[in-house]
Structure 1
Amino acid sequence: MYDERVGEDSANNSANGFTSSQGYDEQQYQDQFQDSLTIKVGMLGDAQIGKTTLMVKYVEGKYEPDYIQTLGVNFMEKTILLRSTRVTFSIWDLGGKPSK
Structure 2
Amino acid sequence: MQGTEIPRFNFIELEEDRKADHKEHFYFVTTDVDEAVEHYLHKVREHHPFYMTISSVDGRICVAKSHGLSSDKTKPRIIRMSPNLNEKTCNYTLYTNKFIRTVKRKLI
Given the two structures, how large is their TM-score scaled by the length of structure 1?
A: 0.25
In terms of fraction of residues, the more strand-rich structure is: 2
Given the two structures, how large is their TM-score scaled by the length of structure 2?
A: 0.24
